Amino acid sequence: MSAILRINPIACEAHGLCAELLPELIRLDDWGYPILDEPEVPPDLVGLARRAVDACPTLAVLLDES
């Protein structure tokens, strides 16, 4: 099972909660928007990734679990 993290850049408003909750995968650029260096989520981080998805006020964080 693999999980892929994506950001909808149109929906994102740089609240930054995703980077707070998942600093292992998400950092912020100079304007506060999330940078995903590696979209694939290791199994041990999937729980945190789901929390980041739920926490985003604009529903801009997407997790494709298949």
CB of 49 to another protein, least distance (A): 18
Q: Which is nearer to another protein, 9 or 57 (CB)?
A: 9
Q: Residue type for 17, please? A: L
CB of 56 to another protein, least distance (A): 14
Q: Which is nearer to another protein, 39 or 42 (CB)?
A: 39
Contact 11, 58 (CB under 8 A): yes
Q: Residue type for 28, please? A: L
Contacts with another protein by CB under 8 A lie at 7-14, 29-33, 35
CA-closest candidate to residue 4, choices 45, 55, 32, 59: 45
